[in-house]
Structure 1
Amino acid sequence: MNEKIRIGVVGTGLIAKGLTLALENQPDLILTGILTRRDIATMTSHPSSELLTNSVDDLIDKADLIVVSTGDVIYGTDVIDLAIKANLPVVTMDAELQVTTGSYFARLGLITEAEGDQPGCLAALKENAEQMGFKPLVYGNIKGFLNLNPAQEDMEYWSKRNGTSPGMTTSFTDGTKVQIEQVLVANGLGAGIAREGLLGYESEDSHSGGVHLAEQAKELGMPISDYILAPKVPPGVFITAEHDGRQKDALRYYKMGEGPYYTLLVNYHLCHLEILKTIRRIINGGGVLLNNNTEPAFSAAAVAKRDLNAGEFVERGVGSFQVRGIAVEIARNLNHVPIGLLSDAVLLRPVKEGQTLTFDDVKLPDSLAVRAWKEIIERASVYSTI
């Protein structure tokens, strides 16, 4: 009963490396393997270099649970497929994968996004809010800046300065990351989106922005997943909600304002440090924190940042200078290409700036991720007509 739970980690980037450090002194957890595609001989500076492996089978054989944080939908899908087949629970910090193939895996085994990134933090905040009697109207992300088409030179500069990859930096800057995250939140928490591409109101603070979004949610008659653009607000998440009117005086006394809308703010998200909470949630039988739902209503579509030419090669969609991602309703866009699937793709015909890419526009290499998405779409086209 005192044996430690064996954790395998997939990835060696910023989040995965931070998690390996965090696992070093946990009384109930032990890191048993780190899967990488890189040449292990060149990775002697990795803090747990002795645990690096290029073998998926080796990682799975030594693990009771795996954590996936690669940002590569195609590769991550292949790894998770093997883990699910081995009956291992899977924790991800990979919203890109969740909104692309997560629904495929949600029907086959236990897969959950972790607390720490904005979607997982919103799921945890929702649980807390509802236990206190709040009725969420807005699941809000806080974004400090936005440039839909940033220059490559600028992204390389900020990438080096922040210690993140150029692709990650670009996806944060052009809004792709927040669109993907709020798609996952909408699907996983049963919310809607107010419009394609989200609203993204500019705001001085989380509450005024949340109230503005809450008014839209009331008009639509459902909770919404969205974000505010608020440079002065710390990065984090918020929920704007209603409450029982009889609690108005108490909530005023608790400095929550006059109502009828109240904003609960988490002014941080600590990524890899919070993954530990979700690992323990699964170990203790708490079940899924957040996944993309077995029947997702929304997706993150690839939209051209500039005119694209026939024959043009797209190495990677998320974080590229050719496309960005926007939230869309699947039922209205059954032929769209999810930005997470754009990997080693070739344009079959010209695509104009601002146009949503479809499967008629591109040739994608065969992969489990592509096949999984087509299965998701086949199911979506059925239940969208019911």
Structure 2
Amino acid sequence: MNLFPLLQARNAAGRPVRVALIGAGKFGSMFLAQVPHVPGLEVPVIVDLDPQRAKDACKTVGWDEDRIAATTFTSEGAKAIADNVDVVVEATGNPAVGIRHARAAIASGKHIVMVNVEADVLAGPLLADEARKAGVVYSLAYGDQPALTAEMVDWARATGFHVVAAGKGTKYLPAYHDVTPDGVWQHYGLTASEAQSAGMNPQMFNSFLDGTKSAIEMAAIANATGLDVPSQGLLFPPCGVDDLPQVMRPRERGGVLERSGVVEVVSSLERDGRPVFRDLRWGVYVVLEAPNDYAADCFKQYGLKTDASGRYAAMYKPYHLIGLELNISILSAALRKEATGQPQGFRGDVAAIAKRNLRAGEMLDGEGGYTVWGKLMPAQTSLELGALPIGLAHRVKLVRDVGHGAMVRWSDIEIDVGNETVKVRKQMEAMFAPSPSR
């Protein structure tokens, strides 16, 4: 509330909120589309590996020639971070690059909005801690599902409800774990030409389909909210919005959850491929438990769908608008010094799992690729098993065979101990490793 009046006051004082955008892909372009319509918000510098592509993106989303001419387009992230900006938006999707940019922004006294959830899950607890110590904001990106879910969890807890489950919906079948970028569009519901015209990268969008992105986003939510991670990974139960209170409750109460207080993703497809009635493919949810009989009676009186006991109810948001909503994070950081979600600990991790039989000498190609997909697991389990994080499964060589469906471990790869991203990850593990007692 009140972000727009705060922005109006700052604009009237001649101090617009200035943003450096790093990464002008789909998410970045959606954000850029809104900028001309928000007085008091400026993007003086845009970073992309291909500056001309970024300039073309601005034209595509409706920027006029004067605005484009007044903007610096560069491939140098350091230049953007050093500019006279208040907030840095990291939207590259590359975890190593994202970590580097985030640390540079923090060191420069700039707030950082981390669209790059891959980087957040790999080292977010450390980055958020460094930002707090530096007096700047490290924030998840509003419009993306982790921040929206974290907001709903915060709302539920602040109003006195126990959070039973929280997460999002997606299109899922077990066979999707082995899908490669070659087959993504036929499952996703688009033609290759439609995807290309929309600027959609097949490997990135394959990570949405093969379960990796869901695992990454649920790890981010668990780390931001303190919710638990399912011990055996995500279940992806088929479930529509009306059935959330019935399905997403503990097993001893007739649901599918191993316990209360976990993250989980619901599928928009039944296991036989039929569509789920009133699915939540594009949305987020939280399942609540009434703390007393009076609150349970209020659920019924005000029309909430509940389970048979009347004690469990759900709230949900049917859609998320990705980069179109990003300004909420930017303005919250710049005007209120508040994050729209940030890691509070290390509770969830995402391990690399072989999509097929892999042989020693092969190179892994990371999230959404041809070799591995990402599975959610408790951080403690990941550390105990020596699981290779999906964020580090990019361009690394296997030193031994890994069977189809098996977890890739640190011991299975050729480790570059001098790699800066590896060092940051190991530092994060050392500082935030969960206690064995948990």
TM-score, with length taken from structure 2: 0.82
Contact 2:55 2:73 in 1 (8 A): no
Match of 2:403 in 1: 352
Which of 9, 33, 38 is the equivalent residue of 2:21?
9
Q: In 2, Cα distance between the equivalents of 1:82 and 1:353?
A: 39
Q: Residues 43 and 224 from structure 1, CA distance in 2 versus in 1: closer, same or farther, beyond 3 angstroms?
A: closer
Match of 2:32 in 1: 20
Partner of 1:3: helix, strand, or coil?
Answer: coil
Q: Residues 215 and 199 from structure 1, CA distance in 2 versus in 1: closer, same or farther, beyond 3 angstroms?
A: same
Q: Residues 43 and 17 from structure 1, CA distance in 2 versus in 1: closer, same or farther, beyond 3 angstroms?
A: closer
Contact 2:169 2:283 in 1 (8 A): yes
**Displacement of 1:221:** 5.2
Partner of 2:32: helix, strand, or coil?
Answer: helix
For residue 55 of structure 1, what is the amino acid of its counterpart? E
**Displacement of 1:96:** 1.1
Contact 2:351 2:376 in 1 (8 A): yes
The alignment-based identity, stated in percent, is: 23
Match of 1:59 in 2: 80
Does 2:271 match 1:206?
no
For residue 43 of structure 2, what is the amino acid of its counterpart? L
Which of 117, 120, 128 is the equivalent residue of 1:106?
128
Q: In 1, Cα distance between the equivalents of 2:164 and 2:182?
A: 40
Contact 1:186 1:225 in 2 (8 A): yes
Contact 2:181 2:368 in 1 (8 A): no
Match of 1:333 in 2: 382
Q: In 1, Cα distance between the equivalents of 2:117 and 2:394?
A: 16
Q: In 2, Cα distance between the equivalents of 1:370 and 1:310?
A: 21
Contact 1:135 1:242 in 2 (8 A): yes
The unaligned stretches of length 5 or more in structure 1 are: none
Partner of 1:328: helix, strand, or coil?
Answer: strand
Contact 2:229 2:347 in 1 (8 A): no
Contact 2:118 2:216 in 1 (8 A): yes
Partner of 2:411: helix, strand, or coil?
Answer: coil
Q: In 1, Cα distance between the equivalents of 2:33 and 2:194?
A: 22
Contact 1:33 1:62 in 2 (8 A): no
For residue 302 of structure 2, what is the amino acid of its counterpart? Y
Which of 161, 166, 177 is the equivalent residue of 1:148?
177
Bigger mean CA deviation after superposition, 144-153 or 236-245 = 144-153
Q: Residues 150 and 217 from structure 1, CA distance in 2 versus in 1: closer, same or farther, beyond 3 angstroms?
A: farther
Q: Residues 362 and 26 from structure 1, CA distance in 2 versus in 1: closer, same or farther, beyond 3 angstroms?
A: same
Which of 179, 194, 211 is the equivalent residue of 1:161?
194
Root-mean-square deviation (CA, aligned residues, Å) is 2.2
Partner of 2:57: helix, strand, or coil?
Answer: coil
TM-score, with length taken from structure 1: 0.92
Q: In 1, Cα distance between the equivalents of 2:313 and 2:244?
A: 11
Which of 262, 274, 285 is the equivalent residue of 1:224?
262
Contact 1:211 1:261 in 2 (8 A): yes
Q: Which runs of 4+ in 1 moved over 6 A?
A: none
Q: In 1, Cα distance between the equivalents of 2:142 and 2:293?
A: 31
Partner of 1:137: helix, strand, or coil?
Answer: strand
Q: In 1, Cα distance between the equivalents of 2:373 and 2:241?
A: 26
**Displacement of 1:152:** 3.9
Match of 2:343 in 1: 292
**Displacement of 1:297:** 1.9
Match of 1:373 in 2: 425
For residue 148 of structure 2, what is the amino acid of its counterpart? C
Q: In 1, Cα distance between the equivalents of 2:53 and 2:141?
A: 30
Bigger mean CA deviation after superposition, 54-63 or 354-363 = 54-63
Match of 1:30 in 2: 42
Instruction: Provide, for residues 318-370 of structure 1, a one-character-per-residue CA deviation record: whole Å limited to 9, x for no partner.
Output: 11111000011222221211101122211111111111111111124443221
**Displacement of 1:156:** 5.6
Q: In 1, Cα distance between the equivalents of 2:86 and 2:202?
A: 33
Q: In 1, Cα distance between the equivalents of 2:142 and 2:330?
A: 9
For residue 149 of structure 1, what is the amino acid of its counterpart? D
The unaligned stretches of length 5 or more in structure 2 are: 1-12, 59-67, 132-136, 270-275
Bigger mean CA deviation after superposition, 352-361 or 229-238 = 229-238
Match of 1:304 in 2: 354
Q: Residues 380 and 279 from structure 1, CA distance in 2 versus in 1: closer, same or farther, beyond 3 angstroms?
A: closer
Partner of 1:74: helix, strand, or coil?
Answer: helix
Match of 1:263 in 2: 314
Q: In 2, Cα distance between the equivalents of 1:29 and 1:151?
A: 39
Partner of 1:201: helix, strand, or coil?
Answer: coil
Contact 2:178 2:355 in 1 (8 A): yes
Match of 1:194 in 2: 230
Which of 182, 189, 207 is the equivalent residue of 1:171?
207
Q: In 2, Cα distance between the equivalents of 1:302 and 1:31?
A: 36
Contact 2:359 2:402 in 1 (8 A): yes
**Displacement of 1:111:** 1.2
**Aligned counterparts, 1:47-86, within 5 A:** 47=58, 48=68, 50-60=71-81, 61-86=83-108
Q: Residues 20 and 51 from structure 1, CA distance in 2 versus in 1: closer, same or farther, beyond 3 angstroms?
A: farther
Instruction: State the number of aligned residues.
Output: 382
**Displacement of 1:160:** 4.1
**Displacement of 1:151:** 4.7
Partner of 1:145: helix, strand, or coil?
Answer: coil
Match of 1:180 in 2: 216
Partner of 1:46: helix, strand, or coil?
Answer: helix
Instruction: Provide, for residues 104-143 of structure 1, a one-character-per-residue CA deviation record: whole Å limited to 9, x for no partner.
Output: 2111003110111111110122233334333211102111
